[in-house]
């Protein structure tokens, strides 16, 4: 039998390295379709784990009932709103698809431009001159590309289908993670400890705190803002208020806030001679905007004692680099790197930064 302490020859080392790398690449390709759904499930379960434990305690320690309730909550907060949003977008897009695919493009008259104060008539005259002059040539240039729009909408429909598949996978993985949370948590902590005995477990706890800070400071704040904005839109009589409320929620998630939707709604009310409700919605929108700057820091402090500016920078940067999953990935990466730098500068462990984190 070969002594394991004997030096391995170069050819054996290279072949072993190629085998390990090949197995790693093949494993990644196999699990690649499930990565996004599993990542979302992990972030959601980590953020809502304390809530699940409280529900389980309230139900007398019955994990199965607690998991069912959490899945129902996820359905109400994620699946159903997204379904209505996509359904509304599809219903709105059908006339547009027929219009582009008909190859009978005709520019509208836009007579309402004349009603715009001060500049309306000038814009209308310029528009009519465009149609009478180069408008026909413009139509001939655009027409060959009109048939391609159907292909574009088919691709977007495919992307929507993939998105729903990822949502279903997210629910399935969330169920497994809720059910086996303690075992998975122990395995992750042990893996981190093997990587770094000094800071491994502390980094895991720091990542958990960052995820919960984002969940409370960003997601919960966005949910409250969307709900309050929806109430204001409903009361003031703005049409499609439910669809606008869902759009406001996603707008708040990506840190644009509710105003890009509320301000056009206010203008629409004034434009339709509803000055009273327009003023009421304006005041309500101002309160919602102010409330955002109060709730976000408060909820972030509840989730973790972490720099607010660093978390918000991570949210925006993560969204730009990684997409919607970057909402959580960005802050986690920035916070861990920030703590590593601080711990190296002052010669202290990362664990000294942490407060108690209920991840059992």
At 301-313, the pLDDT tens digits run 776 666 777 777 8
Mean of pLDDT values over 118-131: 66
Q: Please, which pLDDT band fits residue 8 given cuts at 50, 70 and 90?
A: low
Instruction: Of 44-48, 166-170, 298-302, give the lowest mean pLDDT range.
Output: 298-302
Question: Alpha carbon of 279 to those of 93, 237, 269: distances in Å?
Answer: 32, 13, 9
Residue 101 has pLDDT above 60, yes or no: no
Mean of pLDDT values over 111-120: 61
Mean of pLDDT values over 268-274: 82
Helices (H) and strands (E) in the chain, counts: 14, 0
Give the per-residue pLDDT at 133: 56
Q: Is 253 helix (H, G, I), strand (E, B) or coil?
A: helix
User: Are the C-beta atoms of 206 and 339 separated by less than 8 Å?
Assistant: yes
- Percentages helix, strand, coil for the chain, rounded to the nearest 5? 85, 0, 15
Q: Is 42 helix (H, G, I), strand (E, B) or coil?
A: helix
Task: State the average pLDDT for the chain.
Answer: 75
Tokens of 46: 């980590």
Nearest CA-CA partner of 254 in 308, 330, 306: 330
Tokens of 45: 């379960």
Length of the chain: 360
User: 10 Å Cβ neighbour count for 250?
Assistant: 15
Burial 206-225 (b: 16+ CB within 10 A, else e): bbbbbbbbbbbbbbbbbebb
Q: What angle (nearest 5°) sits at the alpha carbon of residue 332, between those of residues 327 and 333?
A: 105
Give the per-residue pLDDT at 89: 60
Rounded distance between C-alpha atoms, residue 170 and residue 182, angstroms = 19
User: Are the C-beta atoms of 248 and 226 separated by less than 8 Å?
Assistant: yes
Mean of pLDDT values over 171-177: 87
Give the per-residue pLDDT at 254: 76
Give the per-residue pLDDT at 358: 43
Residue 219 has pLDDT above 60, yes or no: yes
Say what percent of the chain tops pLDDT 90. 1
Rounded distance between C-alpha atoms, residue 332 and residue 204, angstroms = 10
Nearest CA-CA partner of 55 in 46, 43, 42, 64: 64
User: Are the C-beta atoms of 247 and 85 separated by less than 8 Å?
Assistant: yes
Tokens of 37: 């759904």
Nearest CA-CA partner of 281 in 271, 260, 266: 266
DSSP 178: H
DSSP 8: P
Choose between 7 and 20: higher pLDDT.
20
For 27-80, strand residue ranges (E) read none
Burial class, 204, CB count within 10 angstroms (exposed 0-12 / middle 13-18 / buried 19+):
buried
Choose between 95 and 170: higher pLDDT.
170
Q: Please, which pLDDT band fits residue 334 given cuts at 50, 70 and 90?
A: confident
Q: Please, which pLDDT band fits residue 85 given cuts at 50, 70 and 90?
A: low
pTM for the model: 0.65
> Can you give the residue ranges of every domain in the chain?
185-360
Tokens of 324: 């919607």
Which residues, including other chains, have CB under 8 Å from residue 314's CB and lie 6 or more apart? 210, 214, 330, 331, 332, 333, 334, 335
Give the per-residue pLDDT at 356: 44
């Amino acid at each position: 039998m070969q002594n394991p302490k004997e030096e391995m020859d170069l050819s054996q080392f290279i072949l072993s390295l190629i085998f390990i790398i090949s197995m790693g690449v093949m494993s990644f390709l196999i699990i690649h379709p499930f990565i996004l759904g599993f990542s979302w499930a992990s972030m959601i379960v980590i953020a809502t784990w304390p809530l699940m434990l409280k529900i389980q305690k309230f139900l007398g320690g019955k994990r199965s009932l607690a998991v069912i309730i959490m899945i129902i909550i996820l359905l109400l907060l994620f699946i159903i709103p997204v379904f209505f949003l996509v359904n509304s977008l599809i219903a709105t897009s059908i006339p547009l698809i027929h219009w582009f695919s008909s190859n009978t493009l005709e520019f509208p008259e836009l007579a309402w431009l004349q009603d715009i104060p001060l500049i309306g008539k000038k814009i209308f005259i310029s528009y009519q001159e465009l149609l009478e002059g180069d408008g026909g040539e413009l139509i001939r240039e655009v027409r060959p590309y009109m048939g391609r729009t159907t292909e574009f909408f088919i691709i977007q429909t495919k992307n929507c289908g993939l998105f729903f598949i990822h949502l279903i996978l997210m629910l399935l993985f969330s169920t497994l993670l809720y059910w086996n949370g303690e075992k998975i948590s122990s395995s992750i902590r042990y893996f981190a400890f093997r990587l770094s005995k000094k800071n491994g477990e502390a980094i895991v706890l720091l990542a958990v705190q960052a995820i919960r800070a984002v969940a409370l400071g960003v997601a919960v704040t966005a949910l409250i803002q969307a709900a309050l904005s929806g109430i204001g839109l409903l009361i003031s009589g703005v049409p499609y208020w439910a669809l606008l409320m869902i759009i406001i929620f996603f707008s708040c998630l990506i840190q644009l806030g509710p105003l890009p939707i509320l301000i056009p709604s206010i203008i629409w009310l004034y434009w339709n001679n509803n000055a009273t409700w327009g003023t009421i919605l304006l005041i309500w929108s101002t309160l919602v905007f102010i409330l955002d700057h109060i709730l976000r820091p408060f909820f972030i402090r509840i989730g973790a004692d972490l720099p607010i500016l660093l978390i918000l920078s991570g949210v925006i940067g993560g969204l730009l680099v990684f997409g919607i999953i970057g909402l959580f990935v960005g802050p986690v990466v920035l916070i861990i790197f920030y703590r590593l730098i601080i711990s190296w500068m002052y010669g202290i462990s990362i664990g000294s930064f942490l407060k108690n984190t209920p991840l059992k």
